[in-house]
Structure 1
Amino acid sequence: MVLHSDLFRVNMAASIVSQTVARGLRGASAKHLFLDKFKCARVSSRRWLNLQEYQSKKLMQESGVTVQRFYVADNAPDALQAAKRLGAKEIVLKAQILAGGRGKGVFDSGLKGGVHLTKDPSAVGELANRMLGYSLTTKQTPKEGVKVKTVMVAEALDITRETYFAILMDRACNGPVMVGSPQGGMDIEEVADKTPELIFKEVIDIFEGVRDDQALRMAANLGFKGPLERQAADQIKRLYDLFLKVDATQVEVNPLGETPEGQVVCFDAKINFDDNAEFRQKAVFALDDMSESDPTETEAAKWDLKYIGLDGNIACFVNGAGLAMATCDIIDLHGGKPANFLDLGGGVKEKQVYEAFKLLTADPKVEAILVNIFGGIVNCAIIANGITKACRELELKVPLVVRLEGTNVQEAKRILSESGLPIVAANDLEDAAKKAVAAIAKK
């Protein structure tokens, strides 16, 4: 699991970690491929910025990348007019939600499939009418589905051949890498596993960019021939320009295909962004539609808190993702169940502590709170002041167990002990977990 672009490389007890990962990656994941000469490894990452398909296509258009002609509509009459304006032989209508498996999804209107092909523009209005305002359920959505607010009306193009192409950041190469395969339109991990010889990699010099010979070599490896080879190489260079322009960590095109008319087209794309570049990518990050996100996670993000709700009753309030995972696991080890995964991060302020407590206490499942802080760059006294303020102003009614270690810890312990609040002090993490579980057992 990854939160805010940091890779967790900690081996933890399976049950809680699996549950945390499953919740953390729901509806917001992408596959990063790190390839060497012989194998393909995969790391999944959480993305705070998640764009709709049409938004990614618009970014590609702006960089000169060839995509299908399309329009976006939020009502059936506009969808119908868009279909007529396209004047295409065939039209594809796609529900826009932040989840995969749309084609096999089901609407609560009774319509099956979030992706429909038609040669009759007049049918688009009726299809859109059964999509917009209704919830679409797929294998990646919550069981109640996600309400569809917009649809993309696009020109449907025939594909004579599909390839896979991606540009991503690879730690092993200290920079961006191109990855491609002539076997596109399918799970690239399966290709890498069964036919690794069909995976091609080109390391990009971050200062030099994609050279002509690299782009042409990749195009040839993807199987483009004749004039299409140069056309594909041009698309590859334009995709790299997009990669740099938007501070992407990955641009994945699957498929990068060719049409019977001899055109190279990017039919589908996923773009991952560097969250740390938000300050210079305000226009891109302004596209983020948080309406499909968990409301608590969205509120936590406003205060630079990383929160994932779980199914237990002991709230975990920690600083550091690895510490959060360890806390969840040791609670589970002693017979308890974590109610959440909340990471305060490094530069903590009292206001953040207060807002974190508001989030935790708003969850009706929470029957106890376990605070586990290791103060490295964090001043424990700031945490202690935030805790006491939150306890008083929020009139905390559930048991609170606190374990503090590190910077200014003695001052922090003094603040807590002199507060007069019913705070249970713990000597170490195991002691904290035992006391939190015991506190619930006494209720």
Structure 2
Amino acid sequence: MLLFGLGIAVVGLGLALSIALHELGHLVPAKLFGVRVTQYMIGFGPTLLSRTRGETEYGLKAIPLGGYIRMIGMYPPHKGEPEGTIREDSTGLLQQITELSDEAKAYESAQYGPEDAHRTFVALSVPKKLVVMLGGPAMNLLISVVLMLVLVSGIGLPAITPTVQSVSECVVPADAPADVSCVGRPPAPALAAGIRPGDTLREIDGHRIQRWQDVTTAVREAGDRAVDVVVERDGEELELQATMVVDDRPVLDEDGAAVHDAAGDLVTEQVGFLGVAGTPDLEPQSPAAVPEMAWTAFTGTGRLVLTLPVRLWEVGQAAFGSAERDPDGPLGVVGVSRLAGEVASAEQPGFELREKTGTMVSMLASLNMALFVFNLVPLLPLDGGHVAGALLEGARRSLARLRGRPDPGPVDMSRMLPVTNAVALVLLVMTVLLLYADIVKPITLFP
């Protein structure tokens, strides 16, 4: 139970830091561009603690489900109405939007005086608005990539290493079952050469061995010749000789996986055979593997976001019915915390501290990639909504210049408040649904 709680604490702290750095990605460029930032808050709801530094209040709130910074002048200033204007009563949608917009702009305008009009967010140029609003998601992307680098080049990825896990007793067909009898079959070259489990292969037929792929290449190219094999045993290198045999072995793809034909049958070829199996372990890789990993995570998260309504419907069917949760489906904070606890407290063979640490780092990298992608959705109140507004503003101004017309001014995002409120309600419902599903029908890593 202690380890379970420790896992939750580690991921919880990592998520809190990710949120804090996301908001820092907004805060720093906003202050650099001269915008007055009145609040920097982690969480929502009642304030637990806060401290004011300069003109900004920094604080922690009770509900740790996000964060925000508050900049003055998010909407164009409310100019009021000319004296004597009579507004007709109306229940029409446009009239309601106008009233809601006017109220929001009036509230915003009341938060600062004329002396700070040039320090509002709305007064920024389009490029500066984009930098401020993309700063948060960009920070999450940076965190995700850095964590992937730590995972790939520091901790390592699952791989087969040249340390011998087992030695075949005889030469058996490539598609033979594990319990096939060796009666009447020739001994495997590795067994006859004296190679033992625990030996580390260092050289085969003059080829230096760094990775398991080097073993596969050297063995397959050796044919049926007698070759020198250098192994490391108990800290010493021993030179052995193995008389190879040619046998039907699986054709391997670029990733080292066996190839099957359209009918599902194993595709084989005549190549050299030694008869050893490597040991699965975490093996550090080149940093060059990170871009591909990041792209895979980005596209996978993007597909999840694009299909989110369908995925949430499936979550609802599982939570309120007999369907099973999709292990690759969306998770809430409770679900992520539960998985972190399982990872920390797991007692699976071969799943030790290094593997647990790698899994935790991978989870935090995935969470930050999810924050990056989700915040790019072009809907308010998400960052992508403000980005879309800035791009629209830039397009309007460019079009006005081309036509020789006056500057149309900033886009009035207050007109989108009904949509903002609707999206916020959807996000709240989604959060509650995932919270409920993570409790009554949780996703687990270990059966």
Q: For this structure pair, what is the TM-score category when the shorter chain's length is used for normalisation?
A: under 0.3
Q: With structure 1 as the length reference, what TM-score do the two structures score?
A: 0.24
Q: Which has the higher helix share?
A: 2
Larger strand fraction of residues:
1
